[in-house]
Structure 1
Amino acid sequence: MVRDVPRLPASWDPMLRDFVDRHAAMIRELANGFDAPLHLLFPECFASNVAAFRRTLAEHRIAGRIYYAKKANKARCFVRAAADAGIGADVASIGEFGEALVAGIRGADIGVSGPAKASDLLRLAVHHDALVAIDSVDELKRLVAIGQQSGRVARVLLRMAPATQRSSRFGFDPSSLHAALGLCASNRSALSLEGFSFHLSGYDAQARCDQTGIAVRACSAARAFDLAPRTIDIGGGFAMSYAGADDWTAFQAAHRPDDYHGNKTFDGFYPYHAACGGARMLEAIVAGVPEGDSKPLAETVREHGLQLMLEPGRALLDQAGFTVFAVQGVKDLDGYGIVTVNGTSFSVSEQWFASEFLPDPELLPTERERGEPLATHVPYRACVGGASCLDSDMVTWRKVAFPRRPEIGDLLLYPNTAGYQMDSNESPFHELPLPPKLVVTLDGTRPHWRVDRLSTLSGA
């Protein structure tokens, strides 16, 4: 009996699906003209995702602020879209801070996160009135000194260690948090405690609801120090779906090591379907009842006069881009092939997590093939290798079921790669060009594109 080939077809935004189906010739022309892998970006999808989070906050009558976690994608168009939408940016370096300012985000709308931040970054944050999430007593003391030297008051969140993730290296445990509150109380001329923050690994909405309940109690406890924090930053980690529920369930049940080149195995995968992702996950968090409480979180937040701050990255980039590789060779093996493309796995960064980006890449039909019945094609299974000399440089280890044998010059489309995949791990290894990012607008009768220009701060 022949086993069915595991597949994981990607979910596509109808607008992007229409773009690919109707404008394949434009995609081929761009791939040929730039002679490199391409990242195509769609800021309209980013704006739509922002609007969904805002609706959820409004429906629950919660005062809230959205900060785009810039680390999720280096493209300037998205931080500019954040500025246009009136949301903030979460940054963790001087470079990201500068990019946010250049894109039009005010310093007061920038949140600075990360452990043991460089003093230069802390000074920049203080001078621009940014909100700084502090991770340790040592860092808080450095910020006090900077505030005293500058004559400015630093705006501060105290990052709490996750109550259920004891191995995390981030945040204040209860005893050090008490010491930090004392420092805030005794240095009011240099510090203004605005609230508490946390970030949880994983995608459990109830865990975030529970941790927010702990943070609400911390706001109340701070009153013993004559402090009045009113902001709780619940961080990011909002899941998103790359594929449908049935397809993801079927894939997990069907795939096995011999579906991967070299019988490659992985410790785990991103959950490529989320029944409760994006703004729906925020809905589950605020509608949930924190452990030890008796009423929904949204009601508690309102009663205490608090506001929520959130830092989505991947979830704001859902459907906001895809990646295009050109085929530059095919090697036939026993029962499958290896397709080599004109880029490397550094441009699909799930490999950074020792994992695999699982949604099926698509073979873009040629003009000759458009409208042909599928029966005219002979299916072909192949993994996808990068153009480097590294044996481990596999863009896709899985033997994907393509509708036919790819040929030199064909294009492979990797769907929904804007969130963390495109550039987290990019490298000009072998002096290969970094894939250019092209911003596509779909607000007219014909799509328009432009190169995403970074500011001079990035040396571009």
Structure 2
Amino acid sequence: MANHQLTALHSPERRELILRAAVRDGLLDPENAQLAGFLDLDAVAATVDSLHRAFPGSVEVLHAFAAKANSLVPVLARLRGLGMGCEVASPGEFAQALAAGFEPAQIVFDSPAKTRRELAQALELGVAVNVDSWQELARIDELLTTRPTLQARPTRSRIGVRVNPQTGAGVIGAMSTATATSKFGIAPADDGNTERLVEAFRDRPWLTWLHCHVGSQGCPLDLMAQGVAATVALARKINSELGRRQVVGLDIGGGLPVNFADDRATSGYQEYVERLRAHAPDLFSGEFQLVTEFGRSVLAKNGFTAAYVEYTKTSGGRAIAITFAGVQVATRTVFAPDSWPIRVTAHDATGAAKHGEPVEQDVAGPACFAGDLVAEARPLPMLEPGDLVALLDTGAYYTSTPFSYNSLLEPAVHGATVAADGTVRFATLRRAQTVADLLGRTGG
């Protein structure tokens, strides 16, 4: 699907249609549901379709959604229904992927801190495992040779090694995983590591994959493709030195950056595949099976967060709107606004867009610290109590990954579909947390 078609699904008119329907249906209510997340399920399906279409049909590819981006089980189940696999990086995400119905062969287990128990579970089920360190590799050696269940029935897991191509950082250091000193993977360029990797594969016929991930938001496509190219070169070196096709698959990670500046889908999967063809043409030779691990790019632009304005005030001449959307649902934006700015739109109590002369305003959250701002000095039509604000491009990592500061309750998340006649239908993806839920979780 072309970028302009995806952009049409991210239009202000479509968001307003969904927002107004949510108000009418009581999914947003100033007394009972002051905050909620929304995911446009039609747009999600179109985005996944564009991902599938971008990669050539001549190559076997599993697109494994990075569960960290949105680990709600109904969301994962819908992505499974769209033909995706699931990449997990914790016991919780592992359990959520299984609960969503993914077959073990569709799950990829990544984490720099896998315990023996977690590794044993993955190997016994047949989940793909990407080894992150020499010590983890030794741990798998031990499990495969000493664990009775794995001796009785050899694992069906695809086992690979995550390598750090050390291609450098993007503009957000915390999102860059292929720096010289990254905590992730084994760096082939470090003294002796390339030779050691060749020997590791020589000694272990079950070691058949390589994995790399250069980073995500803030990483240019060429930098990402260069990391993949270095990994392809290593795979071919291993196969050449061993005289056999042992590395049969490459997990090239995810990390496609998202445009948070406007509604355009400015950087898409097709563009990334073109950069991969330029830097790593052998990736598509048919020699290797492929796995991808896209997360943010699948969902971010397909969701928004809506919250009521409870109070307004001025301080030092600055207009301030106190809303129910703050650090608990926009954690990265609040703590690192320069790296993670988001767009905010103003709406009246019906969900209709507000118009009028823009006034610089702070859009503040409800948390009890001064920095709880999702936007600072943002020009918007003047907000009033009872209005709604929408935080755009928040389908990944926002309401789906709440931060329990001040014991603020987790909001509901709703999926929306829009019929040809404009009728909006909703499905609950996560119900709102109640005070009773909170007390149960905190020992009350």
Tell me the TM-score normalised to structure 2 length. 0.81
Which amino acid in the other structure matches residue 272 of structure 2?
L
Which amino acid in the other structure matches residue 43 of structure 2?
C
Q: How does 1:302-381 map to 2 (within 5 A)?
A: 302-303=284-285, 305-351=287-333, 354-356=336-338, 357-367=340-350, 374=355, 377-381=356-360
Counterpart position of 1:449 = 426
Q: 1:393 to 1:420 in 2, by over 3 A?
A: same
Q: Give the superposition deviation at 1:167.
A: 2.3
Q: How does 1:31-430 map to 2 (within 5 A)?
A: 31-32=28-29, 34-58=32-56, 61-148=58-145, 149=147, 150-151=150-151, 152-153=154-155, 154-164=157-167, 165-174=179-188, 175-188=192-205, 192-201=206-215, 202-223=218-239, 224-225=241-242, 226=244, 228-244=246-262, 275=266, 277-288=267-278, 290=279, 297-298=280-281, 300-303=282-285, 305-351=287-333, 354-356=336-338, 357-367=340-350, 374=355, 377-396=356-375, 398-404=376-382, 406-424=383-401, 426-430=402-406
Q: Distance in 2 between matches of 1:20 and 1:444?
A: 15
Are the equivalent residues in 1 in contact too, given 2:308–2:386 (CA < 8 A)? yes
Greater Cα offset, 86-95 or 116-125: 116-125
Q: Secondary structure at the match of 1:315?
A: helix
Are the equivalent residues in 2 in contact too, given 1:197–1:234 (CA < 8 A)? yes
Q: Distance in 2 between matches of 1:209 and 1:133?
A: 20
Q: Distance in 1 between matches of 2:258 and 2:42?
A: 17
Are the equivalent residues in 2 in contact too, given 1:49–1:318 (CA < 8 A)? no
Q: Give the superposition deviation at 1:441.
A: 2.0
Q: Give the superposition deviation at 1:43.
A: 2.4
Q: 1:25 to 1:204 in 2, by over 3 A?
A: closer
Q: Give the superposition deviation at 1:378.
A: 4.9
Which amino acid in the other structure matches residue 218 of structure 1?
L
Q: Secondary structure at the match of 2:257?
A: coil
Q: Give the superposition deviation at 1:77.
A: 2.9
Q: Distance in 2 between matches of 1:23 and 1:91?
A: 31
Which amino acid in the other structure matches residue 402 of structure 1?
L
Are the equivalent residues in 2 in contact too, given 1:240–1:273 (CA < 8 A)? no
Q: 1:430 to 1:172 in 2, by over 3 A?
A: closer
Counterpart position of 2:12 = 17
Consecutive unaligned residues in structure 1, runs of 5 or more = 1-10, 245-271, 291-296
Which amino acid in the other structure matches residue 158 of structure 1?
V
Are the equivalent residues in 2 in contact too, given 1:125–1:132 (CA < 8 A)? yes
Which amino acid in the other structure matches residue 203 of structure 2?
S
Q: 1:234 to 1:364 in 2, by over 3 A?
A: same
Q: Give the superposition deviation at 1:208.
A: 2.7
Q: Distance in 2 between matches of 1:103 and 1:370?
A: 35
Q: 1:34 to 1:103 in 2, by over 3 A?
A: farther
Q: 1:273 to 1:441 in 2, by over 3 A?
A: closer
Are the equivalent residues in 1 in contact too, given 2:75–2:429 (CA < 8 A)? no
Q: Give the superposition deviation at 1:13.
A: 4.1
Are the equivalent residues in 1 in contact too, given 2:300–2:393 (CA < 8 A)? yes
Which amino acid in the other structure matches residue 176 of structure 1?
N
Instruction: For residues 124-179 of structure 1, give each alpha carbon's deviation from its aligned partner in whole angstroms, at most 9, with x where no partner exists.
Output: 21112111111111001111222221222342111111232212121112233533
Consecutive unaligned residues in structure 2, runs of 5 or more = 1-5, 168-178, 432-439
Are the equivalent residues in 2 in contact too, given 1:208–1:234 (CA < 8 A)? no
Q: Distance in 1 between matches of 2:197 and 2:113?
A: 15
Greater Cα offset, 442-451 or 194-203: 442-451
Q: Give the superposition deviation at 1:435.
A: 1.4
Q: Give the superposition deviation at 1:108.
A: 0.6
Instruction: For residues 193-252 of structure 1, give each alpha carbon's deviation from its aligned partner in whole angstroms, at most 9, with x where no partner exists.
Output: 2221111134222223322222222222223345611211111110122334xxxxxxxx
Counterpart position of 1:436 = 412
Greater Cα offset, 222-231 or 123-132: 222-231
Aligned length, in residue pairs = 399
Q: Secondary structure at the match of 1:401?
A: strand
Q: Secondary structure at the match of 1:347?
A: coil
Q: Distance in 1 between matches of 2:316 and 2:264?
A: 32
Tell me the TM-score normalised to structure 1 length. 0.79
Q: Distance in 1 between matches of 2:271 and 2:182?
A: 23
Q: Distance in 2 between matches of 1:378 and 1:17?
A: 18
Greater Cα offset, 172-181 or 118-127: 172-181
Q: Distance in 2 between matches of 1:92 and 1:346?
A: 22
Which amino acid in the other structure matches residue 103 of structure 2?
R
Q: Give the superposition deviation at 1:283.
A: 2.4
Q: 1:371 to 1:363 in 2, by over 3 A?
A: closer
Are the equivalent residues in 1 in contact too, given 2:327–2:334 (CA < 8 A)? no
Q: Secondary structure at the match of 2:27?
A: helix
Q: Give the superposition deviation at 1:361.
A: 0.9
Q: Secondary structure at the match of 2:28?
A: helix
Which amino acid in the other structure matches residue 415 of structure 1?
L
Q: Secondary structure at the match of 2:305?
A: strand
Which gives a bigger RCO, structure 1 or 2 (Cα 8 Å, sep 6+)? 1
Greater Cα offset, 45-54 or 415-424: 415-424
* Percent of matched pairs sharing the same residue: 22
Q: Distance in 2 between matches of 1:335 and 1:121?
A: 55
Q: 1:371 to 1:341 in 2, by over 3 A?
A: closer
